[in-house]
């Protein structure tokens, strides 16, 4: 299908974009990579929106180290994450996650800011952001910059703490430290599909944060399983604790029970560090 008529403006600077958001009616859509947004327009899931194209804003590009933090600009494309040495060295889970996102032609344009702001519960990057306890940097005309912890940012299905007048400008990731691990894995029917279930892991090697995606309305922190590991429990005990941590819905891709099952398998495989062993 084709989109319904669209209003369009190219923001020429960050200040211009924030002006547009501040003076809008809250129904404007920010166009970053467009890899979910334009599909939604084509399907007319969004009717006659006004688009603010932020692609020309230089301030939103770039990946830079700042002490213990790596600041990733909102317009960083998935292909940029894959090619970036700073990311590979300091936030390796993002290097591992980016190739899992869709296909080469989509990674060329899709952005980290877009993925996080869109908050698709099956997407990889929101789960990574939560697992890493990253900081989401928002900007608005009235309040300047506002920092929100990832754990407070994702509120539900495609719903975040970003206000209508705010733009997601960057994400700040803590650098990996000695004795920490990061990894992501997911189960897909075909390469590039959204995950049936996925797991992002980050933190101390023996007691990392466990964040599942594709099994809820938002990234799901498996608090019970994390507590088991922190108390010195076994991987099998942690996997059992997922029974209370996860509450996936039945859908066309599989039953809730099936998704719980593969979540347990993903956890066991991730913590055993061997994709082939510990099969279901």
Partner 1 sequence: MTAPFSQSVEIGLKVNGERVRRTVDARRHLIDFLRLDLGLTGSHAGCEQGVCGACTVRVDGAIVRGCLTLAVQLDGADVWTVEGVTETGEIADLQDEFVARNALQCGYCTPGMLLTAAELLDAASTPDRTHIREQISGNYCRCTGYEAIVDAIEATAAKRCGMPVPALKEAAE
- Contacts with partner 1, residue ranges (CB under 8 A): 1-10, 19-20, 23, 31, 34-35, 38-39, 41-43, 50-51, 53, 55, 79, 102-106, 108-109, 190-192
Q: How far is the CB of 269 from partner 1 (least distance, A)?
A: 20
The alpha carbon of 83 is separated from its chain's Cα centroid by a whole number of angstroms, namely 18
Query: Who contacts 111 (Cβ-Cβ below 8 Å, separation ≥6)?
Result: 32, 33, 74, 75, 76, 77, 78
Per DSSP, the three-state class of 267 is helix
Per DSSP, the three-state class of 25 is coil
Nearer to partner 1, 71 or 107 (CB): 107
Q: How far is the CB of 108 from partner 1 (least distance, A)?
A: 4
Q: How far is the CB of 106 from partner 1 (least distance, A)?
A: 6
Q: How far is the CB of 104 from partner 1 (least distance, A)?
A: 6
Q: How far is the CB of 76 from partner 1 (least distance, A)?
A: 15
Nearer to partner 1, 23 or 231 (CB): 23
Nearer to partner 1, 31 or 130 (CB): 31
The angle subtended at Cα 108 by Cα 167 and Cα 112, nearest 5°, is 30
Strand partners, 251: 254
Nearer to partner 1, 7 or 62 (CB): 7
Place of tokens 């992501």: 184
Q: How far is the CB of 4 from partner 1 (least distance, A)?
A: 7
Nearer to partner 1, 21 or 229 (CB): 21
Helices (H), the chain: 14-23, 37-42, 78-83, 85-90, 92-97, 104-107, 112-118, 124-131, 150-153, 223-230, 235-245, 256-272
Nearer to partner 1, 195 or 242 (CB): 195
Q: Ramachandran region of residue 51, left (φ > 0), alpha (ψ -120 to 50) or beta?
A: beta
């Amino acid at each position: 299908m084709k989109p319904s008529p669209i209003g369009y403006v190219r923001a020429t600077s960050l200040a211009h974009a924030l002006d547009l958001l501040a003076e809008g009616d809250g129904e404007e859509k920010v166009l970053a990579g467009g890899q979910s947004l334009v599909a939604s327009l084509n399907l007319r899931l969004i009717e006659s929106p006004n688009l603010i194209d932020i692609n020309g804003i230089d301030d939103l590009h770039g990946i830079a180290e700042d002490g213990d933090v790596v600041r990733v600009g909102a317009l960083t494309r998935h292909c940029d994450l894959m090619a970036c040495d700073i990311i590979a060295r300091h936030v390796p889970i993002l290097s591992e996650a980016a190739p899992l996102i869709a296909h080469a032609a989509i990674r060329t344009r899709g952005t980290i800011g877009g993925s996080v702001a869109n908050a698709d519960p099956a997407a990889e990057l929101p789960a990574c952001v939560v697992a890493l306890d990253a900081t989401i940097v928002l900007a608005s005309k009235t309040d300047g910059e506002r920092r929100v912890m990832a754990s407070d940012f994702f509120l539900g299905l495609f719903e975040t703490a970003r206000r209508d007048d705010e733009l997601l400008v960057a994400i700040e990731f803590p650098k990996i430290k000695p004795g920490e691990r990061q990894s992501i894995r997911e189960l897909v029917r075909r390469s590039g599909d959204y995950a049936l279930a996925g797991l992002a892991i980050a933190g101390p090697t023996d007691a990392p944060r466990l964040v599942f995606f594709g099994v809820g309305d938002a990234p799901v922190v498996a608090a019970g399983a994390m507590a088991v590991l922190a108390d010195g429990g076994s991987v099998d005990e942690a996997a059992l604790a997922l029974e209370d941590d996860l509450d996936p819905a039945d859908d066309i891709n599989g039953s809730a029970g099936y998704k719980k099952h593969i979540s347990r398998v993903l956890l066991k495989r991730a913590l055993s560090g061997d994709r082939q062993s510990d099969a279901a």
